[in-house]
Amino acid sequence: MLETTRFDAAPPLRVTGHAPPMRPADEARVEALWQRALAASSGHLFNGRIAVARKVSPHGIEVEIDEYRRLFAARADPELRARLDLQPLAVSGLLRCAGGIVFGHRGSGNTEAVGQWELAPSGGLDAATLLPGLDLDPVAQLLVELDEELGLSASAIASATPFCAVTDRSTGVIDIGIALEAPTLSAGAVVAAHAGGGSHEYVELRVMKPADLGRFIAANHSDIVPVSLALLAARGLA
């Protein structure tokens, strides 16, 4: 189930502090699951910091700094998930260039939504440098994803406006929708930038003209990431 919260204006994402300690029993369970995963990962897991939402409203989002190991354990244990109620933050762009709206087709190298279309770019929020009392900048993170995933420079973007948050109750993830306007970029330039310097997350890009968007959505509805459909609906495009 998805819930959309539309923002009144560009919302502040204020880091209010660190997540509180867990109950001893939950801490023991999290650590046991984490150590088991570490042993099986050959050293490829890392307990970094993550940004999680504690309160979402039309006026902004209150953010706490948490640990990835808690999220990992919560995803592995439904009872932990219910008690910890972690809501990690992500960003999702609705990129409109001169040719239309940009969609990416997710390749087999992804761990989620393989073979589906989604609005591009998108990604998680880097919490490595967060400190209590500071504001988190989702636009800056999305522009990093723009470069890494699509091979496009931030200088191509005329405006970037956070317009809503989409909460996926099935996963707990909250995507911050950001409208990116690039009126001087042609569809061909976007596709060429991805081919020349983008990542392999998307095996194909399509730029849909406004007149063709409805038909594209109708033909591919079951193969479009639900969060992308919610973002399009929030902008009156689906």
Q: Which residues contact 134 (CB under 8 A, 6 or more apart)?
A: 14, 15
What integer pLDDT is reported at residue 229 of this predicted model?
A: 97
What the block records as the tokens of 127 is 């919490």
Q: Give whole-number Cα distances, 205 to 125, 156, 158, 200, 226, in Å.
A: 23, 17, 21, 11, 18
Residue 78 shares a structural domain with residue 95: no
Domain CATH for 187: 3.90.79.10
Q: Is the domain of 162 the same as that of 196?
A: yes
For the segment 120-135, the average pLDDT, to the nearest whole number, is 82
Number of structural domains found in the chain: 2
Same domain membership, residue 226 and residue 156: yes
pTM comes to 0.92
Task: Take residue 55 and report the two structure tokens written for it.
Answer: 């309160």
Residue 45 lies in a domain: yes
pLDDT at 12 over 90: no
67 and 143 inside one domain:
no
Q: Are residues 38 and 104 in the same domain?
A: no
The answer to whether residues 102 and 128 belong to one domain is: yes
Considering the domain architecture, whether residues 198 and 162 belong to the same structural domain is answered as yes
Domain boundary residue among 65, 85, 105? 85
Residues 94 and 154 in one domain: yes
- Model confidence over 148-187: pLDDT tens digits? 999 999 999 999 999 999 999 988 999 999 999 999 999 9
Domain identity same for 181 and 217: yes
Is 37 a member of any domain? yes
Same domain, 60 and 109: no
**Strand (E) positions, the chain?**
2-6, 13-18, 49-57, 60-67, 89-97, 100-106, 117-119, 122-124, 159-168, 174-182, 202-208
Q: Which domain holds residue 21?
A: 13-85
Report pLDDT digits (tens) over 70-118. 999 999 999 999 999 999 999 999 999 999 999 999 987 776 778 899 9
Residues 96, 182, single domain; the answer is yes
Of 85, 112, 145, which residue constitutes the final position of a domain?
Answer: 85
Q: Which is nearest to 73 in space by CA: 13, 140, 23, 27?
A: 27
pLDDT of residue 133: 76
The answer to whether residue 99 is domain-embedded is yes
Q: Is 216 helix (H, G, I), strand (E, B) or coil?
A: helix
Is 90 exceeded by the pLDDT of residue 130?
Answer: no
CA nearest 56: which of 165, 179, 172, 175? 165
78 and 94 co-located in one domain: no
pLDDT of residue 96: 98
Last residue of a domain, one of 41, 70, 85: 85
Which of 27-31, 42-46, 164-168, 187-191 is least confident? 42-46
Q: Tell me: pLDDT of 43 over 80.
A: no
- 135 or 144: which carries more pLDDT confidence? 144
Is residue 44 included in any domain, yes or no? yes
